[in-house]
A and B are shown apart, each in its own frame.
Chain A
Amino acid sequence: MKSSYNGQAVIILENVSKRYFLHPHRVRELKRAILHLPTFLKTNRARQPFWALRDVSLTIRRGESVGIIGPNGAGKSTLLRIVSRLAPLTKGKLSVRGRVSPLLELGAGFHAQISGRDNAVLNAVLLGLSRKEAQEKLPEIVEFSELGNFIDQPMRTYSSGMYVRLGFAVAVHVKPEILLVDEVLAVGDADFQRKCFDHIEKLRQSKATIVLVSHDLENVKRFCDRAVLLNHGAIAAEGEPQEVVDEYLSSHFEFSAGAQEAGDE
């Protein structure tokens, strides 16, 4: 492993595999399930296994920035979901040390009828802070969001810009130990993207561990100490970002042909 980091391992995946089942004709309505009971029982059993990840072993150490690249359907997002415990794994072992936050799940759980202030606190607690920490950070969050008096208004009165600003202000102040970023950087205007990268850079300097899933190979080269290339759910290459990116590009056409079969992530 070409890593200059000798710190404590914070994310360890040992032979992690993840299987999904594809149900071509799954029925989710009671009415149809009852009306077509024999067909329901038959088709609901006709499922095809699909391995989104196969035997992935990966160790990420404290303070490291790791970029995950690969074609569509390679398992990049699945990997991130497994690390964030949103998806249970089928086989293997996972251990994560530290507070994991997804970057910029902007406004996850915001409720339009209550004030920006209340939403900010709830959002911060959802993202991993304690209530006390959230209350302490609140003045900074309000300041950063530039919402002024609007902070005590119900969020239904907000413009979409204000909505995003509050979400971002909370995300910035949560200060995770492990930050997971999933291609969200493609969303938002240029100014907003710059703010995101400033934020990632700051976290990097404060020794946070970062896992970045991206299609933007330039960003991976710029921000990551190490890159991992996934293909068909397995690690195809790992090492210096420049080398891994080159390898990916040189075999790109093969991969994209394969990804068509594998389907979407």
Chain B
Amino acid sequence: MRAVSVAAPRRFDLSQLARTWELLLLLTVRDVKLRYEGTILGFLWTLAKPLLLALVFSFALSRVLRIDVGDAPYVLFLLSALFPWTWFQSSIQFSAGSFSNNAALLKKVYFPRFVLPFSAVTSQLIHFLLSIPILALLLLAAGYRPGPEWLLGVPVLMAIQLLMLAGAVLLVASFNVFLRDLEHLVEVLMLLWLYVTPILYPLSLVKERVGAIIYLNPMASLIQAWRDLFLYDQLPGVDIWPALVFAVIALVAGSIAFKTLEGQFEIVL
């Protein structure tokens, strides 16, 4: 008698898939518009924040602590990792409340709910993509020559980070419905995560001290790959495998969490 079978009509049919995609698109456009509408400085602020942050870190770490980052100017060294990191961090932060803050909507209308956290990831992706040309300009100004490797490297690394984020936001947003505190916890954890990831300092610096443990950080190999691509036009190689493994783990864990918890949303929301 425990058997539950819901004949979900046409779950995998094309129109349902198309509708999901359209919803994701509309929500993404809405988020981006919300960011930029009415303010000329809207987009500039998206850029200014990591840029200003870069200046602060640059002063603290390269002038005061004198971290050795090789021949690259510290600001460029930092930004080449900080831009992809910002995409990662703000996606997770903005999506954490995407179920719990949309209770009114989730209670009233049925639609594929995962589009809500995903739209946070995609709208942050747009901001990230817009920041790439700025980075390219800065590199050019410093005498670097961004090569054609970017055309292949950017989509590949983007795809890996997208998969990782898809899983992570499903996980965080689903659990946040039941424990709202997670939202605040995530904010602090992301700050910690920033410091343990080789963003402010080169990977080689920690690898010497802690060894391969650094690869237990899902973002370590990915951030390093972004930096190698942006600074040295190096395509991601085998070194990227930890990021791939973590992307798969995140995706599986996120899907399971979402599938099991979604049925209980109605009780809590």
Chain A residues within 8 Å of B, Cβ to Cβ: 20-21, 28-31, 33, 81, 84-97, 100, 102, 105, 108-109, 111, 113-114, 118, 121-122, 125-128, 130-131, 154
CA distance A250 to B109 in the complex (A): 36
Q: Is the CB of B34 within 8 A of A114?
A: yes
Which residue of A is nearest B268, CB measured?
Answer: A28
B107 at the interface (CB under 8 A from A): yes
B37 adjacent to A90 (CB under 8 Å): no
Q: Which residue of B lies closest to A106 (CB)?
A: B108
Known: A30-B185, A108-B104, A130-B15. A95 touches B34 (CB 8 A): no
In addition to A88-B6, A121-B26, 20 A-B residue pairs with Cβ atoms within 8 Å of each other are A29-B181, A30-B179, A33-B179, A84-B110, A86-B108, A86-B109, A87-B266, A88-B4, A90-B4, A91-B1, A92-B4, A93-B5, A93-B6, A100-B110, A108-B109, A109-B109, A126-B23, A126-B105, A131-B22, A131-B26
- CB closest residue in chain A, given B264: A88
Contacts of B102 in A (CB 8 A): 109
Pairwise interchain contact A91-B111, C-beta atoms closer than 8 A:
no
- Known contacts A29-B181, A30-B181, A125-B19; is A93 also within 8 Å of B110 by CB? no
Min Cβ gap A240→B in Å is 30
B104 vs chain A, min Cβ distance (A): 7
Residues of B within 8 A of A (CB): 1-7, 9, 15, 18-19, 22-23, 25-27, 30, 33-34, 37, 102, 104-105, 107-111, 178-182, 185, 263, 266-268
How far in angstroms is the closest Cβ of chain B from A195? Answer: 20
Number of A-B contacts (CB under 8 A): 90
Contact A122 B34 (CB under 8 A): no
Least distance between A73 CB and chain B CB atoms (Å): 16
- Give bound CA distance, A111 to B181, whole Å: 25
Q: What is the chain A residue whose CB lies nearest that of B108? A: A105
Contacts of B19 in A (CB 8 A): 125, 128, 130
Tell me if A111 and B30 are in contact (CB < 8 A). yes
Report how far A88 CA is from B268 CA in the complex, Å: 14
Q: How far, in whole Å, are A68 and B177 apart by their CA atoms in the complex?
A: 31
Query: Which of B6, B37, B181 sits near A31, CB closer than 8 Å?
Result: B181
Q: How far is the CB of A237 from chain B (nearest CB, A)?
A: 26
Residues of A within 8 A of B33 (CB): 114, 118
Contact between chains at A86 and B1 (CB < 8 Å): no
